[in-house]
Amino acid sequence: MVLNSEAVLRQGARALARRDPVMKRLIAQGAQPPLRKRDPGFAGLARIIVSQQLSTASAGAIWARLESRFPGMAPHDIAAASDDDLRAPGLSAAKIRTLRAIAAAIEDGSLPIERLHAIAADEAHGLLTAVTGIGPWTADIYLLFCLGHPDAFPAGDLALQEAVRIAYGLDARPKVKDFLAIAEQWRPWRGVAAKVLWAYYRMIKQREGVPT
């Protein structure tokens, strides 16, 4: 199953509502998540890296300059580029190192980027995080939004942790290990659960008058 249509998203939401009364309540209250599919492959993963810790506007501007300098965003082009060529669009040294590491891993075959969609989410996650500079959150965001893995789950995401704290009446945000334990009941739809929780988080912030 690939999370690549509104129909599949609704199927996952119905499955969550049947097995978890809290999820059922959140969905009934209006936490209806959008699909939000992104392009897969090197370009999709690179864009997630480029966007980290930046505003949407800044990330978009840097990405536009990067695409203009490297049309098609091929791994070989990034691997062969000079530091000056990669710095010119606005990339930090850390992001340059990560993009180079990803390009090298794709070229040597250790990161089979074009086959990740056919690999179980946990295994694909391991292949991604084996690359220097790709952390668990980045791996899960790529699996969920670019590949449509319905069971990818970014347990380290602070918005998700805060949403589940409020939804379940917890005293504090759960640590990653505890959050993963909570999420076990949502398999094989943990990715849909994440989308529901993000939608719920946006609802909370909108009620509070906080931009999201």
Domains in the chain, please, with CATH?
6-36+152-208 (1.10.1670.40), 41-146 (1.10.340.30)
- Predicted local distance difference test score (pLDDT) of residue 81: 95
Question: What does the alpha-carbon distance between residue 74 and residue 85 come to, in Å, rounded to a whole number?
Answer: 14
pLDDT(53) > 70: yes
Question: What does the alpha-carbon distance between residue 127 and residue 102 come to, in Å, rounded to a whole number?
Answer: 11
How many C-beta atoms surround the C-beta of residue 60 within 10 A? Answer: 14
Chain segment 149-203, per-residue pLDDT in tens: 999 999 999 999 999 999 999 999 999 999 999 999 999 999 999 999 999 999 9
CA 117 to chain centroid, in Å, comes to: 14
Section 4-28 average pLDDT: 96
Q: Do residues 137 and 156 make contact, with C-beta atoms less than 8 angstroms apart?
A: yes
Q: Which pTM does this prediction carry?
A: 0.88
CA-nearest of 129, 174, 125 to 147 is: 125
- Predicted local distance difference test score (pLDDT) of residue 207: 81
Question: What does the alpha-carbon distance between residue 204 and residue 166 come to, in Å, rounded to a whole number?
Answer: 9
